[in-house]
Amino acid sequence: MATMVASVGIAVKTLMSILACVMAASIAYLLVVNGISTCFAPRDWWMHVALVDFCITIAIIWAWFVYKESSWIIGVAFLFLLFWVGSVATCVYIVLQFYKLSPEESRKDPLYFALARREKGDAMVHRRGPSVVTARIILSALACLLLGTFIYTLIVDGSPFQSKVFTPCMIATLTDIYIHVVVFSVWVAYKESSWTSAFFWMVLLVCFRSIATCAYIVRQLFYLSPQQSVSCIIFSKSNRDLQSRDPLLVPHSDV
């Protein structure tokens, strides 16, 4: 059983490494063929939709990074990297989290320890962040923003399935967005106890991207009481239940 659990961590680490390389190649292709300035053409309505989608995605990833890291200077630097290299930064950071795991953590629950903040001492202490209610409002507003942008663009610019839409910049942006969809899908698979439910949400993520991501997070937030920390949604229910009972499920800073 321990070998099987450890192999999950190896598989995720390998997958993230491959995705980082794919995105790096996509960025290199964009810079050589088109230049990044073309991504901000004022009349490219579908590019605007993709950029809103992209920004919502990196905002969610950055929120997890801020939970994990204690330095705001590092947080700002990572946000800059997310904006310019997107999923390359995300995937490399995730791979680094797996490399930080001790052999015991890799055998016990690598996904949990890669997601969790490393704490000093013998207990896990959650930082004080936005309230559960505030987080629900923010994520719902972001989903509505993207949905509204999509509907408006559909009205003024027609179908997104036009040849003029798929510029090198759009292809690179969509590549980044869908790599993040894979990242979120791995998280959903970790959180959901049922493969049917996990598959359902993965399909929604592929079809609706950040809208589905926000909807899933809001759904998870409704499982929390207003007194709980928002960071509790990062973990599966079984891991949350075990945190207070199993000393091996406490990430330390000395590994």
What does the block give as tokens for 214? Answer: 């926000």
169 vs 163: which has the higher pLDDT: 169
> How confident is the model over 138-147, as pLDDT tens digits?
999 999 999 9
Rg (the chain; Cα; Å): 19
Q: How far apart are CA 155 and CA 159, in angstroms?
A: 9
d(CA 44, CA 126): 42
- Whether residue 106 is predicted with pLDDT greater than 60 in this model: the reply is yes
Task: Check whether 117 has a pLDDT greater than 80.
Answer: yes
Under the banding of pLDDT at 50, 70 and 90, the label for residue 188 is very high
Residue ranges per structural domain of the chain: 2-117+130-241
CA 254 to chain centre: 26
Higher pLDDT, 36 or 30: 30
Beta-bridge partners for 252: 119
- Which of the residue ranges 47-61, 109-123, 181-195 would you say has the lowest mean pLDDT? 109-123
Which range among 25-29, 178-182, 193-197 has the greatest average pLDDT? Answer: 178-182
CA-to-CA distance for 181 and 212, rounded, in angstroms?
Answer: 10
**Could you give the C-alpha distances from 31 to 35, 70, 209, in angstroms and in order?**
4, 34, 25
Q: What does the pLDDT average to over 213-220?
A: 96
